Each structure stands twice: as structure tokens, then as C-alpha cells.
Amino acid sequence: MIKTQNLTKLFPRATVPALKSINLEIQDGEFVSLVGRSGSGKSTLLYLLSTLDSPTEGNVFYDDVNVKNISAQEIFKLRNKNIGFVFQFHYLLQELTALENVLLPARKAKVLEQRRPMGLKLLEEVGLKGLEKRYPSELSGGEQQRVAIARALIMEPTYLFADEPTGNLDSQNGQMIIDLFDKINKEKGTTIIYVTHDKEFAARARRQITLADGALV
């Protein structure tokens, strides 16, 4: 379970908090979309929940562990083993093939060969079978984003966070990704939390959390 306690974020030189005293619980196995207008605080909340950013005030708990009280090494271990993140931009390494990019977290965890079959399977599931040896420069923007999604899933994370995961995809490929998220959530019990502006994709989640002006609605 992820729990927040009076979570507040004020960016430098800003006069108004991006998030204001957010109290929220997300149970293990939930499929959640974060929705709201641009500037409502959706992505800021996602980054705080995923430990990729720190709050100005308040706390984030993973089960009973306050993230604020654990070491940087423990946070790194939590991210690498239990958290997958899909950014708005793919951030692929240009000198690595699609498969090598997918397997990067496995390389860091020293389970590269054990995860190779999973990497091939994930590339097939995101519609990239046959493109495993292509370099990012040989892929379209949408294909690169799908490689990034496969990379986020390679370690079979307990928690998957995604910031506009379908933003750079056409409707057909976007539907494929949401279908994949739904399948992973149902079959593996992965907790999935994603930000989207697409009302249809937001509705696919089994729980919607709406933000407005940095507060829960």
C-alpha cells in the first residue's frame, strides 16, 4: 500500500504550492488514473508517489515504511526492484538496441540473461516483434515510447507509474498499451498509477483520482 500524509510541494520561486496537503491511500493491486487540467498537480503527485521527487512537507509511506526515513541506497533498491516508471519522453540510450534498452534495469540488477526471454516477450506484447535489434534512431517516436514501456516492465515491478504513457502514440497503439496495463494489473496484481488527459484511457482505470489546483477533488 502507498499512503501519503499531508503531502505538499512548493517549487522554488513559486508562490502557490503545486500540491496542498494531499492525504491519499492506494491499495496494492489497484489500477488508478490521475486526471485533471494542466497544472492541477497530477504529474507532481506521480513523481512524489514514485519517490522520484521529494515533498516540501508531508510523508510518503510504502506499507509502514516512511520513504523520508530510509537511505538513498535503500530508495535506489526500492526503485530498481519494485518500481517501474514510464516518462512522457522515452529516454532511450541511443547506442543500445531496443532489446538492450529494455534490459537495462536487469543489467543493473545483475539478472540480464535471466530476463532476456521476458524482454523479447514484452517487445512482442507492445507490437515490436522483429525490431529487437533496431537502434532508437531507426524507430519512430511511438515505437521508442513502447520500448520505454517494455523497459519499465522488465523487472515485473510491484508498482508501475506512468506519466502520459500514450501521449506520443496514435489511438490504436495507445489502446494496445492500456490493454497491456490492464492485463498486467489483472494477471500479476501490479499496482498501476498513470496520468492521462485522455478521458477514454482514464476511464479504463478502476479508480480515478481528480486533482484541481493542487488539491484532491
Nearest to 163 by CA among 48, 75, 59, 63: 48
Q: What confidence score (pLDDT) does residue 89 get?
A: 79
Give the max Cα distance, the chain.
Answer: 51
The yes-or-no verdict on residue 37 having pLDDT over 90 is yes
Q: Which CATH number fits domain 2-91+157-216: 1.20.140.10, 3.40.50.300, 3.30.530.20, 3.90.120.10?
A: 3.40.50.300
Q: What confidence score (pLDDT) does residue 80 get?
A: 82
Whose cell is 484541481? That residue is 212
| pLDDT, tens only, 5-35 | 999 999 998 889 999 999 999 999 999 999 9
Mean pLDDT of the chain: 93
Query: How close are the terminal C-alpha atoms of the chain, in Å?
Result: 21
120 — pLDDT class (breaks 50, 70, 90): very high
Confirm if 160 and 86 have CB atoms less than 8 A apart. Answer: yes
| pLDDT, tens only, 138-195 | 998 889 989 999 999 999 999 999 999 888 778 888 888 899 899 899 998 999 999 9
Looking at residue 46, what DSSP letter applies?
Answer: H
| Domain spans of the chain, in order of start | 2-91+157-216
- Total Cβ atoms within 10 A of residue 73: 8
| pLDDT, tens only, 198-217 | 899 999 999 999 999 999 99
Burial class (CB in 10 A: 0-12, 13-18, 19+), 61: middle
Confirm if 59 and 4 have CB atoms less than 8 A apart. Answer: yes
Confirm if 147 and 139 have CB atoms less than 8 A apart. Answer: yes
